[in-house]
Amino acid sequence: MNPFVLPISSFTTYTQNRMFDDTPLVIGSPPQLLKWVGNKHRFAEKIVSMFPADYNKYIEPFVGTGAVLATFNPTKAIAGDMLKPLIELMELLQNFPDKLVESYSLNWNQFVADRKSHYEKVKNSYNAHPNPLDLLFISRTCYGGVMRFTKEGKISTPIGPHKPVPPESFENRVAIWNSRVKNTKFLHADYRETMRLAEKGDIIYCDPPYVDSQAILYGAQSFKLKDLFTAIEDCVRKGAKVALSIDGTKKSGNKVLSFEFPLDLFKRELFIDNGHSMLKRFQKSGENMDGEFVKERLLLTW
C-alpha cells in the first residue's frame, strides 16, 4: 500500500493522494544487523522515501539499531544514541567489521553446542560489563528480539526458541551495513547535543523512545517530548527539515496514547500500516491482538 500524506490541519479527513516530486533514489533496507523489536526496519523504506534528495547532511539523534540510517545510506551523516554499547557496535561495524563477524561466529558455534547455557553466559557477561559484542549476540538470540532493559541497564530477556542466522549470512550483513554507514559519524550523546549540530539544509529524523509502553525497552525513563519539540523548533529555525516518528493510534492496555504538539511546527503527516504489534503479543503471551491496530505515523516539518 502506498503511504499517503495528510495536511496537518486535517488529521481525520483523508483528502489527497500525493506524488512526491522530491523522492530520492531509495536503494532498499538491508537485512537487519540487530534483531530488535520496535526498530524501524519494516517502515524504513517508506520513511526514507519522504526525505528530500538534496540535503546538506543527515542527522539521526536516536539512531538505535540504525534501520533508517542504513536504508537511507547518506552521503554525510551524524548519528547519536544514549545507549553506549550500541554506538560502540556501530563504530566497530565501521572500523573493525571483521571483529563483529569473528565474535558472532564464535558465539554462534558455542550457542549451537549448548543453547541455554551459552545464552546465559553472554547475558551475564553483558550485565556485568555492557559491551557491543555481547549486545549483538543477545539481540540475535533473545526471545522475539525483545531487548528489555532494567532501570540499571541490565538485559532481562529470556532466550528465544529460534535458530540465529548462520555466521556466513551474518558476515554478508556486516559487509552491506559497513558500506551503508561509511559516511556517518557516531556519537554517544543525548539527542539535544546531536541536534545542536544541525545546519541549514540538513535533514533530521527523530525516532524517540516511546513514553508509554516502550519505557523499559528503549530507555525512555527520563525522556520528555516537550524538550524534543524545543530541539526540533531550534533545528527548523536554522533551516533544517525534521521528520518525527510518533505512534499515532497505539493502545497501551485500554488507554489510547495521545500527545499534544505545537501545531505550527509540523506541516504534514504520514501514516504507514503496521498490522499487529509484536511487543504487545509478547506481553500478553498468545492473546489474540485483533482490534489493536497500530499505525506508524511520521510528522514532517516541511
Ligand X SMILES: C[S@@+](CC[C@H](N)C(=O)[O-])C[C@H]1O[C@@H](n2cnc3c(N)ncnc32)[C@H](O)[C@@H]1O
Whether 139 contacts 67, CB under 8 Å? no
Radius of gyration of the chain (CA): 19
- The angle that helices 167-180 and 97-113 make with each other, rounded to 10 degrees, is 160
Residue 6, sorted as left (phi over 0), alpha (psi -120 to 50) or beta, turns out to be beta
For ligand X, the binding residue among 207, 247, 269, 296 (CB under 6 A) is 207
Residues between 36 and 55 that touch ligand X (CB under 6 A): 36, 38-40
Based on CB atoms, which residue is closest to ligand X, 80 or 160?
Answer: 80
Binding region for ligand X (CB under 6 A) out of 61-69, 71-79, 127-135, 252-260 = 61-69
With binding defined as CB under 6 A, does residue 126 bind ligand X? no
Q: Residue 225 and residue 169: Cα distance in Å, rounded?
A: 39
User: Is the CB of 18 or the CB of 211 nearer to ligand X?
Assistant: 211
Q: Which is nearer to ligand X, 61 or 248 (CB)?
A: 61
Burial readout 38-60 (b: 16 or more C-beta within 10 A, e: otherwise)? bbbbbbbbbbbbbbeeebebbbb
Out of 130, 132, 209, 248, point to the residue binding ligand X (CB under 6 A).
209
For 276-293, give the secondary structure using H, E and C.
Answer: CCHHHHHHCCCCCCCCCC
Considering the complex, state which of residue 111 and residue 126 has its C-beta at the smaller distance from ligand X: 126
* Residues present in the chain in total: 302
Residue with cell 536516536: 62
139 to 198, contacts with ligand X by CB under 6 A? 190-191
Nearest approach, Cβ of residue 221 and ligand X (Å):
8
Q: What part of residues 64-93 is at the interface with ligand X (CB under 6 A)?
A: 64-65, 67-68, 80-83
Q: Which of residues 220-239 bind ligand X (CB under 6 A)?
A: 223
Nearer to ligand X, 64 or 111 (CB): 64
Nearer to ligand X, 48 or 118 (CB): 48
Asked whether position 244 contacts ligand X by CB under 6 A, the answer is: no
Q: How far apart are CA 147 and CA 135, in angstroms?
A: 9
Q: Site residues (CB under 6 A) for ligand X?
A: 36, 38-40, 61-62, 64-65, 67-68, 80-83, 190-191, 207-209, 218-219, 223
